[in-house]
Amino acid sequence: MASHRKLRAAAVVCAVAVAAGPAPVAAWAATPTAAPAAPSATAGADAAARSVTAPSPDPFSGLSADEIGDKAVTATQSATSLRMTGRVVTEGQPLDIDFAVNDRDECTGVMKIKGGTAELRRTGDVTYMKGDETFWRASMSSQGMPEAQIDATIELLKGRWLKIGEGQAGSADLSGVCDLKGLLDDLGKDEEERRGLTRGPDAEVDDTPVATLVKKKDGGETTTVSVSQEGKPYILKMVKAGGDEPGSLVLSDYDKPVRVVVPPADETVDLSKLDQGTPA
């Protein structure tokens, strides 16, 4: 029995890591100033940019699209916090996300995959995750976990948060979802890949005027990035159309506080307890 319980605990953590997938910005960092397209099921992420007249004077006057892209990456990497809302594709599955994350490795948000929904919170090197039955069942089934163990595990987790502490299996993978510095560092890793941008029509994202940067690749894949023309040149929206991983991501709430609420102890299941087969 003990080995079965350990298998169950390991499968749950593995399932969570797979469901969380690569962090959205990192997943799109192959085109650092760009990202995916496809309507987001998360509030606010599916608002299309509207064409507008550029601010006068144009804050990017005299700069090439590539130079604007460089400024956008530098500014975005300086952020102390932000919110990511939208849809990405990970492991071939659409993943809807709405996360706020800061530079202290704290985050709070919601993800939806395979018809299931899960909340994730991280603070003080501890990750909490609460999923509905559809989420847990789909995630654990994808790991080949036997149905009987899935049923027993879901019963233990019903209405509770899974608590994964520092050093426990899977904690390192999950912490990466809330690693703002790591996510944003990936934006500028491949500078050469970022070259070849063109500037499209100016537009708006959530009533903020933006410069539009476009990169087209062979095979019909087009990446569009919206850069704020007000204040710091933060990236406000990234869209990828065509290709294998279309999607859309809106970045907002730059440098605003991220408040993470720790679930009450009586509503959590420690991973070590799950390993032992007890609910609390």
More confident residue, 9 or 117: 117
Question: How many other C-beta atoms are found inside a 10 Å radius of the C-beta of residue 116?
Answer: 17
Measured between alpha carbons, how far is 123 from 194 in angstroms, rounded to an integer? 33
pLDDT digits (tens, 9 = 90+) for 145-156: 788 888 888 888
Which segments of 52-139 are extended strands (E)? 81-90, 93-102, 107-113, 116-123, 126-131
Structure pTM?
0.80
Banded pLDDT at 213 (limits 50, 70, 90) = very high
Check pLDDT > 50 for residue 93: yes
Amino acid occupying residue 275: D
Token pair of 247, please? 């999607």
User: With bands split at pLDDT 50, 70 and 90, how would you rate the model's confidence at 117?
Assistant: very high
Higher per-residue pLDDT: 10 or 275: 275
Cβ atoms of residues 234 and 72 within 8 Å: yes
The residue whose two tokens read 């989420």 is 135
Q: Cα–Cα distance between 255 and 268 in angstroms, integer?
A: 30
Query: Is residue 90 over pLDDT 80?
Result: no
Q: Nearest to residue 63, comparing CAs of 189, 192, 233?
A: 233
> In this model, does residue 211 exceed pLDDT 70?
yes
- Residue 129 amino acid letter: M
Return the pLDDT at 265: 93
Whether 90 contacts 97, CB under 8 Å: no
Q: Which residues of 212-229 are buried (b: 16+ CB within 10 A; e: fewer)?
A: bbbbeeeeebbbbbbbbb
Please give the pLDDT value at position 260. 96
What is the Cα–Cα distance from 224 to 201, expressed in whole angstroms? 11
Tell me the average pLDDT across 160-179.
Answer: 76
> 92 exposed, middle or buried (CB, 10 Å; 0-12, 13-18, 19+)?
exposed
Give the range among 25-34, 189-198, 245-254 with minimum mean pLDDT.
25-34
Q: Give mean pLDDT, residues 103-110.
A: 92
Classify burial at 22, counting beta carbons within 10 Å of its beta carbon; exposed 0-12, middle 13-18, buried 19 or more: middle
Q: Looking at residues 246-258, what average pLDDT do you find?
A: 93
